[in-house]
Amino acid sequence: MLKSMPEARRWLLSGRVQGVGFRPFVYRLAQRFQLVGRVQNRSGQVLIEAEGEPEFLDAFAAMLLLEAPPLASAQIVRVEKIAHLDMDHFEIVPSTVSLDSHTHLPPDYFMCADCRREMQTPQDRRYRYPFINCTQCGPRYTLITRLPYDRPNTTMAGFELCPACRAEYENPRDRRFHAEPIACPQCGPQLGFVAAGTRIDGAAALDSCISALQRGDIVAVKGVGGYHLICDASNDESIARLRSAKQRPHKPLALMFPWRGADGCELVSKELELDEQTQALLCEPLRPIVLLRRRSDSALSGLIAPGLQEVGAMLPYSPLHHLLLDSLDRPLIATSANVSGEPVLTGNAEVEVRLGHVAQGFLHHNRPIARPADDTVMRVIAGRPRLIRAGRGIAPLELNLPRALTRPLLAVGGHTKNTIALGWGQRVVLSPHIGDLDAPRSQEIFEQVIADLQTLYGVTPEAIVCDAHSQYASSRWAKLQGLPLIRVQHHHAHASALALEHKAEKTWLSFTWDGVGLGEDGSLWGGETLHGRPGAWRRVARMRPFKLPGGERAAREPWRAAAALCWEIGRDRISPAADNTLLKSAWERGLNSPSTTAVGRMFEGAASLLGLLEQASFEGQGGMYLENTAKGNAEAIVLPVCEDAEGLLTADWQPLVLAMLQADVAVTTRAMQFHLSLARTIVEQAQRIHARTPFDVVGLTGGVFQNKLLAELAVAQLSSAGFHVHLPELLPCNDGGIAMGQLAEALYSNG
CATH architecture of 508-727: 2-Layer Sandwich (3.30)
Q: How far is CA 599 from the centre of its chain?
A: 23
In which band, very low, low, confident or very high, does the pLDDT at 343 lie, cut at 50, 70 and 90? very high
Q: Distance (Å, rounded) from C-alpha 352 to C-alpha 333?
A: 19
In which band, very low, low, confident or very high, does the pLDDT at 404 lie, cut at 50, 70 and 90? very high
Residues 740 and 701: beta-carbon distance below 8 Å: no
First and final C-alpha spacing in the chain: 60
pLDDT at 15: 83
Which residues in 460-507 belong to E strands, given as ranges?
Answer: 463-467, 485-488
Burial 112-148 (b: 16+ CB within 10 A, else e): beebbebbeeeeeebebbbbbbbbbbbbbbbbbbbbb
Q: How many residues does this entry show for the chain?
A: 751
> What's the one-letter identity of residue 30?
A
pLDDT at 102: 65
Q: How far is CA 384 from the centre of its chain?
A: 15
The SS3 of residue 500 is helix
Pairing of β 546-547 and β 595-596: antiparallel
Correct CATH for 105-371 of 3.30.1600.10, 3.90.870.30, 3.20.20.70, 3.40.630.10? 3.90.870.30
pLDDT at 750: 65
Q: Distance (Å, rounded) from C-alpha 599 to C-alpha 592?
A: 20
Neighbour tally for 276: CB within 10 Å: 7
Q: Find residue 547's DSSP bridge partners.
A: 595
Q: Distance (Å, rounded) from C-alpha 727 to C-alpha 707?
A: 12
Q: How far is CA 192 from the centre of its chain?
A: 30
590: left (phi over 0), alpha (psi -120 to 50) or beta: left
Residue 86's nearest CA partner among 28, 170, 6 is: 6
The SS3 of residue 298 is coil
Task: Name the residue ranges covered by the structural domains of the chain.
Answer: 7-92, 105-371, 377-502+739-749, 508-727
Interval 434-444: pLDDT, tens? 999 998 999 99
pLDDT at 64: 94
3-class SS letters over 616-652 = CCCCCHHHHHHHHHCCCCCCCCCCCEEECCCCCEEEC
Residue 422's nearest CA partner among 208, 743, 204 is: 743
Q: Find residue 518's DSSP bridge partners.
A: 524
Fold of 7-92: Alpha-Beta Plaits (3.30.70)
Residue 607 has pLDDT above 90, yes or no: yes
Q: Distance (Å, rounded) from C-alpha 172 to C-alpha 135?
A: 11
> What's the one-letter identity of residue 747?
L
Question: How crowded is the C-beta side of 551, counted as CA atoms within 13 Å?
Answer: 10
Neighbour tally for 16: CB within 10 Å: 20
pLDDT at 646: 81
Residues 704 and 527: beta-carbon distance below 8 Å: no
Residue 615 has pLDDT above 80, yes or no: yes
Residue 99 has pLDDT above 90, yes or no: no
In which band, very low, low, confident or very high, does the pLDDT at 100 lie, cut at 50, 70 and 90? low
Note whether 7-92 and 508-727 share their fold.
Answer: no
Interval 208-262: pLDDT, tens? 999 999 999 999 999 999 999 999 999 999 999 999 999 999 999 999 999 999 8
Q: Distance (Å, rounded) from C-alpha 701 to C-alpha 725?
A: 11
pLDDT at 2: 54
Query: Averaged over 105-134, what is the pLDDT?
Result: 96
Residue 211's nearest CA partner among 226, 224, 227, 196 is: 196
The pTM of the full predicted model, rounded to 2 decimals, is: 0.94
Q: Distance (Å, rounded) from C-alpha 675 to C-alpha 670?
A: 9
Interval 626-668: pLDDT, tens? 999 999 999 999 999 999 888 899 999 999 999 999 999 999 9
Q: Distance (Å, rounded) from C-alpha 131 to C-alpha 323?
A: 11
Residue 497 has pLDDT above 90, yes or no: yes
Q: Which residue has the higher pLDDT, 211 or 577?
A: 211
CATH architecture of 377-502+739-749: 2-Layer Sandwich (3.30)
Share of the chain above pLDDT 70, in %: 98
- For residue 403, give Cα distances in angstroms to 199, 632, 751: 56, 48, 10
Share of the chain above pLDDT 90, in %: 87
Burial 613-645 (b: 16+ CB within 10 A, else e): beebeebbbbbbbbbbbbeeebebbebebeeee
Residue 578 has pLDDT above 70, yes or no: no
The SS3 of residue 261 is coil
User: How confident is the prediction for the chain on average, in pLDDT?
Assistant: 94
Q: Distance (Å, rounded) from C-alpha 411 to C-alpha 488?
A: 10
In which band, very low, low, confident or very high, does the pLDDT at 18 lie, cut at 50, 70 and 90? confident
Q: Which backbone phi and psi does 198 adopt, to 5 degrees?
A: -110, 140
- DSSP annotation of 435: B
Q: Which backbone phi and psi does 377 adopt, to 5 degrees?
A: -125, 135
Instruction: Give the CA dihedral 196, 201, 207, 208, nearest 10 degrees.
Output: 0
pLDDT at 296: 94
Interval 717-741: pLDDT, tens? 999 999 999 999 999 999 999 999 9
Q: Distance (Å, rounded) from C-alpha 68 to C-alpha 342?
A: 38
pLDDT at 341: 83
3-class SS letters over 351-405 = HHHHHCCCCCEEEEECCCCCCCCCECEEEEECCEEEEEECCECCCCEEEECCCCC
Q: Which backbone phi and psi does 728 adopt, to 5 degrees?
A: -60, 145
Alpha helix (H) residue ranges in 83-214: 113-119, 163-169, 203-214
Residue 414 has pLDDT above 70, yes or no: yes
